[in-house]
Structure 1
Amino acid sequence: MACLNLTAALLPLPAAAPNPPAPEGTKQVRQDQWHLSYLNTSQAQRVNRGKGVIVAVPDTGVAPHPDLNENLLGGTDIIAGGKGNGQHDQSSHGTGMAGIIAAHGQRGNVGALGIAPEASILPIRTSRTDEDGDSDNLAAGIEYAITQRAAIVSISSVAGPNIRLQRAIEAAIQANILIVAGVGNKPRETFVGFPAAYPGVIAVGGIDRDGNRAAISVTGPEIDVVAPAVDIYSTSLDGKYRKGTGTSDATAIVAGAAALIRSKYPYLPAREVAHRLTATAIDKGPPGRDDEYGYGVIDLVAALTADVPPLGFESVSAPADADPSTAAGGQQGDGDSGATARGLATLGVILAAGVGWAVVARRRRRGDDPPPRISR
């Protein structure tokens, strides 16, 4: 799109309609969550479970659920006429995304389990259903997440470019918040949508049960990583469960992975968290980054345990008196510090520019040099 559209519609990524509980209900759903074993989640959760990290979910709201109650915070309702705390959902989409990120399940190892089951969910109701909403509401949701010191914002939606939305993304990045967003689903989208296409956002595509690109997943040079996106079971309304297919679900998985990293390494700036996700990803497709898989499939265990060299931008380009980056979820520091540079893994070279930093977008094209690979 060549011009900014101030009224661009926000379109949550499609997912399957809410289903009744799986055949054996609460006992069966854990077995149906194939993505947990595929990603070796149990081993990752022996290292970290996401405690102390707030993940904001601007979506259709998050309904209370037995598998989520212990870590569901009071949030806000931004839709017109909304006066609630974000804990209301008419479509199950937001509730499903929250469960993928942080469901803790129930006693006896039953119920849905999220990637980071001790992380906290900040529900932000930005639309009533999967079919309505607007970019300004999403921007307002991100602005609210900043005030609540969220460490991560998980956006399972696509929208047109919007000035307020772009500024909200930039403000969140400057506040050391990691933004994770889905790239969009075919056939409705044909290229990576916004906010995933904005510089500094972790753009997430999807894979199927065989580890191949999911047919529904949009491709493009903006994609950073991929995660399971087909037949993903999670929480739904009235204590039930849902099955979804789309990059919405993959986005929530990556947001959960980021929560694990931010919990284990609370001192890492957001760009280094993003770097861990991309540098430890399991390469797929042509060697290096490509337009279907980005840098590859996220590897939860490696992201938590590998010896990942830092990006090293500071030693090359930072002013000598630059302030240190803030910790996860911290407030924005000096405008010239490392924390304010839009230098996530989706960005490229940091150049000295007077007393500040200039960022040159690396917006990925096939053939770009990959980040340092991690031996494991």
Structure 2
Amino acid sequence: MRRALRAAAVLVTAAATIAVGAVPAHADRFRDDQWFLGYLDLAKAHAISQGEGVTVAVIDSGVEAHHPDLDGNVLPGVDVVPGGGGNGWGDLDGHGTGMAGLIAAHGHGSGAGVLGVAPKAKIFPIRMANSAGMGNGDAIVKGIDEAVTRKIKIISISVSAFSAVPDDLIDAVARARAAGCLVFAASGNAPEDFVVTAPARYPGAVAVGAVDRNGAHMTSSVSGPELVLSAPGADITSASKINKSAGTQYRRGSGTSPATAIAAGVAALVWSKYPTLTGDEVLERLTRTAVDKGPKGQDRDYGFGVVDPVAALTAPAASPSAAPTDGSVATFGASELPDTSDGGGLRLGVIALVVGALIVLGGVAVVIARTVRR
């Protein structure tokens, strides 16, 4: 069925509501607005790890490498847009810079600007679109493969390829997991999405949902059995594109986009603290220490729970005898996970519509036949 639905994917950002505006880069206004810093107790986490020595690939709209809150933390990357040839620097949309900022922003001056979850980590920008909504599923495939080729262990994808997507995207996620990478991907936002979108829904991906300021599941965050982790996603302030006439910009957005970047940043903290861990071991630590919400264990709204950086950094190593045996993504590789990807991000909707249409058409045909007989 997947081959029959190999149409080009439409790319959309996984942020629900974003307000972007030119603002002066002064004081602590933006840092104070980052409520998730306190919610995740990142000051305590940063006393243990700040992500040093870890690189995170951000597949998005590019990154403003010289934003004052990111300057020095953005490596030369690649462009996978048609024509390519660039280094991923520069961001016409601002979305990619926002996600990079949530992962690795270091602020500027004395406590000014925004701070990321892993302020000493590096960002490898993979620009797959010049602005929100441009691109296709093949661009994400190329982006994932570029990161794997460079042995980058954490890939953050805050965009979704929904409707029909290439089998190549499914295979790319599997290749990344087989190479020991963790692919964090946004689960999508209602009402535009109604099932976990691609690539988050594919075997081996770490599908991330969003919670609000109280740690409750955001109603706009798409739920599903594929969900693995949750992270703050409501009213999240971060960096944005630089407007030469207006100066440095920041943005505030809500959705599974920022939640995904924050979860990827927590993984960077853990891998920096424990550099010899495998990808499965890092993910096991993240899921085991997540703050369990909803029904006990993994559930459709929260996955295994909300990321807890301090617990993930300080918890004892997992006992081999305590390893889960339920086939969860926390301990199993991509090839061992159940394949739930039989039609892309709109799998259930497409199937329901097709079946419904067939039933209706069948009924019409019967009525017509009976009419003719009369």
TM range (shorter): 0.7 to 0.9
Aligned with residue 219 of structure 1, among 192, 217, 223:
223
Unaligned residue ranges in structure 2 (runs of 5+): 243-247, 341-374
> Which secondary structure state, in structure 2, belongs to the residue aligned with residue 105 of structure 1?
strand
Contact 1:199–1:347 (Cα < 8 Å) also in 2: no
TM-score, L = length of structure 2: 0.83
Larger helix fraction of residues = 2
More deviation, 6-15/70-79: 6-15
Count of residues paired in the alignment: 330
1:71-110 correspondence runs (5 A): 71-110=73-112
- Alignment match, 1:9: 10
Q: Note the alpha carbon deviations across 1:185-210, whole angstroms, 9 max, x for none.
A: 01000010111111111110000111
Contact 1:76–1:123 (Cα < 8 Å) also in 2: yes
> Which secondary structure state, in structure 1, belongs to the residue aligned with residue 106 of structure 2?
coil
Separation in 1, partners of 2:111, 2:177: 36
Name the aligned partner's letter for residue 236 of structure 1.
S
1:143-162 correspondence runs (5 A): 143-160=145-162, 161-162=165-166
Name the aligned partner's letter for residue 346 of structure 1.
V
- Alignment match, 2:282: 273
Q: Which has the larger radius of gyration?
A: 2
Q: Does 1:180 align with 2:178?
A: no
Separation in 1, partners of 2:330, 2:37: 30
Separation in 2, partners of 1:61, 1:157: 12
Name the aligned partner's letter for residue 76 of structure 1.
V
1:138-287 correspondence runs (5 A): 138-160=140-162, 161-238=165-242, 239-287=248-296
Separation in 2, partners of 1:37, 1:159: 32
Separation in 2, partners of 1:174, 1:247: 25
Alpha-carbon shift at residue 358 of structure 1 (Å): 6.6
TM-score, L = length of structure 1: 0.82
Contact 1:277–1:303 (Cα < 8 Å) also in 2: yes
Tell me: CA distance 1:4–1:260, structure 2 relative to 1, closer, same or farther (3 Å): farther
Unaligned residue ranges in structure 1 (runs of 5+): 317-342, 351-356, 364-376
> Which secondary structure state, in structure 1, belongs to the residue aligned with residue 227 of structure 2?
coil
For CA contacts below 8 A with separation 6 or more, give which structure has more relative contact order: 2
Aligned with residue 116 of structure 2, among 81, 96, 114:
114
Tell me: CA distance 1:285–1:300, structure 2 relative to 1, closer, same or farther (3 Å): same
Name the aligned partner's letter for residue 121 of structure 1.
I
Name the aligned partner's letter for residue 153 of structure 1.
I
> Would you identify which runs of 4 or more consecutive aligned residues in structure 1 move more than 4 Å?
1-4, 310-314, 347-350
Q: Does 1:51 align with 2:28?
A: no
Contact 1:21–1:242 (Cα < 8 Å) also in 2: no
Q: Does 1:303 align with 2:312?
A: yes
Tell me: CA distance 1:192–1:98, structure 2 relative to 1, closer, same or farther (3 Å): same
Tell me: CA distance 1:111–1:221, structure 2 relative to 1, closer, same or farther (3 Å): same
Contact 1:73–1:121 (Cα < 8 Å) also in 2: yes
Contact 1:275–1:345 (Cα < 8 Å) also in 2: no
Alpha-carbon shift at residue 5 of structure 1 (Å): 2.2
> Which secondary structure state, in structure 1, belongs to the residue aligned with residue 173 of structure 2?
helix
Q: Note the alpha carbon deviations across 1:306-342, whole angstroms, 9 max, x for none.
A: 014156699x9xxxxxxxxxxxxxxxxxxxxxxxxxx
Name the aligned partner's letter for residue 174 of structure 1.
A
> Which secondary structure state, in structure 2, belongs to the residue aligned with residue 55 of structure 1?
strand
